[in-house]
């Protein structure tokens, strides 16, 4: 890609681990991009935008981090309480503003992070450990032979599966209906159309 900030990067596409996809995760600096699907390096950004050091991932503390604060020797009690409160605030998962002690006057939006794909340059939006944008597509890629209009509906079904399984099921039904019409299946109802397609050679197991 032509992005200036990437020109000095020596590692380009990282090899895809064999046999399995690496889903997007707040704990990784390389995963399968939710935009382009490439397994590649992802830059993380805090908001207000500042690129994190290479290899860093966003701060999403678990309970073990809270316990760790108790174990830090020589930490003044007041500081210990302040840190614990801050970690607990992170653990609510809500986005909040936090003053950055390292940069005078700078405030960052905590629990709101952005990742940017090295390959396609597209941005993904994360709140706490959840990917909000782009919507994740679940399930198999659409068949290349699928008509464009059906493909669009199929992709929409994949993108809303987590949010609304019933909505996704309705979209998939619509896909079958459109596909039946595309194949000029005869019949008034969808059942009739599928039965007609079976008569014309559709493998019956596809109906299950
Ligand atoms: Zn990408």
| Distance from the alpha carbon of residue 41 to the mean position of ligand 1, in angstroms | 9
| Distance from the alpha carbon of residue 29 to the mean position of ligand 1, in angstroms | 13
130 and 143 inside one domain: no
Domain end residue (candidates: 107, 134, 161): 134
Of the candidates 45, 32, 60, 44, the one whose C-alpha atom is nearest the C-alpha of residue 137 is 32
Report which DSSP code applies to 6: G
| Distance from the alpha carbon of residue 48 to the mean position of ligand 1, in angstroms | 22
H-helix or E-strand spanning residue 110:
strand 107-117
**Residue 146, domain extent:** 136-208
Domain end residue (candidates: 76, 103, 134): 134
What is the three-class DSSP state of 151?
A: helix
Domain end residue (candidates: 101, 134, 167): 134
Distance (Å, whole) CA 24 – CA 132: 11
The pLDDT assigned to 8 comes to: 42
What is the three-class DSSP state of 116?
A: strand
Q: Which residue has the higher pLDDT, 178 or 204?
A: 178
Q: Residue 25's beta-bridge partner residues?
A: none
105 and 171 inside one domain: no
Of the candidates 6, 122, 127, the one whose C-alpha atom is nearest the C-alpha of residue 58 is 127
Question: What is the rounded average pLDDT of the residues 197-207?
Answer: 76
Question: Is the pTM of the predicted complex or chain greater than 0.75?
Answer: no
């Amino acid at each position: 890609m032509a992005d200036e900030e990437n020109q000095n990067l020596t590692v380009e596409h990282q090899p895809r681990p064999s046999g399995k996809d690496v889903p997007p995760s707040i704990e990784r600096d390389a995963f399968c991009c939710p935009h382009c699907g490439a397994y590649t390096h992802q830059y993380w950004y805090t908001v207000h935008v500042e690129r994190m050091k290479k290899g860093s991932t966003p701060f999403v503390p678990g309970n073990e981090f809270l316990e760790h604060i108790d174990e830090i020797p020589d930490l003044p009690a007041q500081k210990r309480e302040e840190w614990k409160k801050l970690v607990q605030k992170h653990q609510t998962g809500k986005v909040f503003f936090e003053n950055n002690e390292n940069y005078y006057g700078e405030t960052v939006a905590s629990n709101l992070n952005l990742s940017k794909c090295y390959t396609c340059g597209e941005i993904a939006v994360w709140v706490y450990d959840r990917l909000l944008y782009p919507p994740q597509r679940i399930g198999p890629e659409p068949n290349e032979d699928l008509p464009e209009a059906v493909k669009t509906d199929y992709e929409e079904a994949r993108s809303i599966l987590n949010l609304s399984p019933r909505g996704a099921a309705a979209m998939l039904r619509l896909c079958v209906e459109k596909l039946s019409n595309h194949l000029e299946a005869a019949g008034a109802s969808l059942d009739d159309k599928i039965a007609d397609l079976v008569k014309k050679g559709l493998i019956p197991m596809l109906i299950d």
